Amino acid sequence: MTIAYPSTPPVAAAPSGAPRPRLTFLGTGYLGATYAICFAELGYEVLGFDVDEAKIAKLAGGDVPIHEPGLDELLRKNLSAGRLRFTTSWEDVAEFGDVHFICVGTPQRPDGMAADLSHVESAVTNLAPLLKRKALIAGKSTVPVGTAEWIEQLVRRHTPAELGVEVAWSPEFLQEGVAVEDVLRPNRIIFGVKSEWATGMLYAAHKGVFDLALTEDREVPVVVTDFATAELVKVAANAFLATKISFINAMAEVCEAAGADVTQLARSIGYDARIGNKFLRAGVGFGGGCLPKDIRAFQARAQELGVGEALRFLHEVDLINQRRRQKIVQLSAELLGRGYGPAGPDLAGTRITVLGATFKPNSDDVRDSPALSVVRKLSRSGADVTVYDPEGMDNARNDVDEVTYAKTLTDAVAGADLVCVLTEWEEFRNADPNTLSDLVAGKRVIDGRNCLDQSVWVAAGWEYRGMGKPVVA
Ligand code: UDX
């Protein structure tokens, strides 16, 4: 069933007796912290939980532990309004909440491609035995299809039947960098439910979103469906996005061989509304805490379900993506006049500056970042690598410690034989190649995100290489 709101949703009364359901968000990472803060902003009484005491202390003190535009201000505003609290106590969570949203991480397992569900399991088994009244446990984390059914069994095992605790699944689609907007003004909401009460409870828990839409004369489509479909919506969406990016990166490979320009190709096919021009930016590929691990977990789950063949193309999507990272190493060797043997190039004695460490701009997230992956490869090939990123330095340092981190863009490029731009931060896009010319040892640049103005850099005397673009002397 799909309904476009605002209209009059079937709102259920909160078991706590509060006028609006009280919401808890279990896990205060990129997802949970953003949701907790934004739902307080929408007027709900909210409790954020995490096992990480340092993170909770920071949030309770008005300090967002991640870089997400707009979030700091909303956190401080809602803390002082008294609508938002943070805790490390499961008892607190159980006592407070009507709807408990599971927002914990589901990273890739170290022993394979599947998702690690241990944090989800621990959230449910810690919370459920402490519940004293009816409540809804609603999953938001990205999980393999079948997880909600399993959680329902866990809840049955850990709560007395007479409480009637229920489970639902409502995946999230927030994009880091614009996450506040995505939560306050979602393009759709999915309810995976088994009962009318669960549907009514989720409506009540999202009424703030519908009310905001009403004041702005917008509609928010709501899809009410079963558990399995709700779980699959999320992974299918991410698989599609990853495929779109790898499609254009595959075209970039062909363009490189044929002397064509993938940026013009993307623009031209994007005018067809059936294709669309979004997510067609060729470059060093996709990274982050979602797309890479989600397409792997999806393949692993499909195999368990006996339909591995259906998702075999996602293996190809992954390989295309990995090849883009290696392409930067190849281009580096080429520009620096180094040979490329079976063990990769020997870049010993070269100084390479990498601009960008985060997986995309306007974030400090370096999880599976293409930029950092390239940094590691260049460093292993013997290059002396210096890295600069406007927001991701602390996280990058924790991940890769064998390279030099510079404090500013100009410090970073000083003395470089080659500059690689691997995250399209505005600071890099707007950098003046004439100013940088005086600082570097060699005017060579790889534009790993096709985000620089090629003609300006070439006019300033730089040897320029883009991704999937012809070489212009
Ligand atoms: C993604 C989904 O977009 C979001 O809906 C889901 O909830 C979580 O996963 P996010 O990980 O924040 O969000 O990043 P996204 O903006 O999707 O970018 C992912 C990666 O793809 C980045 O590394 C980005 O640089 C890259 N990308 C994106 C491209 O290489 N080309 C493009 O055209 C678009």
With a pLDDT cut of 70, the percent of the chain lying above it is: 98
Centroid of ligand 1 to alpha carbon of 284 (angstroms): 12
At 459, list the tokens: 């006019």
The pairing of strands 220-225 and 340-341 is unpaired
Centroid of ligand 1 to alpha carbon of 286 (angstroms): 6
- For 326, left (φ over 0), alpha (ψ -120 to 50), or beta? alpha
Q: Which atom of ligand 1 is nearest to the CA of 423?
A: 25
User: What integer is the mean pLDDT of 405-434?
Assistant: 98
| Nearest protein CA to atom 22 of ligand 1, as residue | 286
Question: Cα(366)–Cα(292) distance, rounded to whole angstroms?
Answer: 13
Number of C-beta neighbours around residue 461 at 10 A: 10
pLDDT in the model for residue 9: 66
At 341, list the tokens: 């043997």
The residue behind tokens 């609006």 is 20
> Which protein residues touch ligand 1 with a CB less than 6 Å away?
172-176, 238, 241, 245, 279-281, 283, 285-288, 290-291, 359-360
| Single-letter residue type at 38 | C
User: What integer is the mean pLDDT of 348-355?
Assistant: 98
Which contacts qualify for 404-407: CB closer than 8 Å, 24 or more apart?
A: 406/353
> Is the confidence at residue 8, as pLDDT, over 70?
no
Mean pLDDT value across the chain: 96
Centroid of ligand 1 to alpha carbon of 470 (angstroms): 26
At 445, list the tokens: 């640049």
pLDDT in tens, 167-178: 999 999 999 999
For the CA atoms of 15, 43, 68, 127, the dihedral, rounded to the nearest 10 degrees, stands at: -10
Q: Which residues are catalytic?
A: 290
Cβ-Cβ contacts under 8 Å for 380 (sequence gap 6 or more): 344
| Single-letter residue type at 179 | A
Centroid of ligand 1 to alpha carbon of 256 (angstroms): 24
Question: Cα(409)–Cα(431) distance, rounded to whole angstroms?
Answer: 9
Question: Cα(411)–Cα(48) distance, rounded to whole angstroms?
Answer: 40
pLDDT in tens, 445-454: 999 999 999 9
Question: Cα(199)–Cα(192) distance, rounded to whole angstroms?
Answer: 8
Helices vs strands, H then E, count in the chain: 18, 17
Query: At 26, is the secondary structure helix, strand, or coil?
Result: strand
Query: At 140, is the secondary structure helix, strand, or coil?
Result: coil
Which residue stretches of 192-336 are H helix? 196-215, 227-258, 262-270, 291-304, 312-335
Q: Which atom of ligand 1 is nearest to the CA of 244?
A: 33
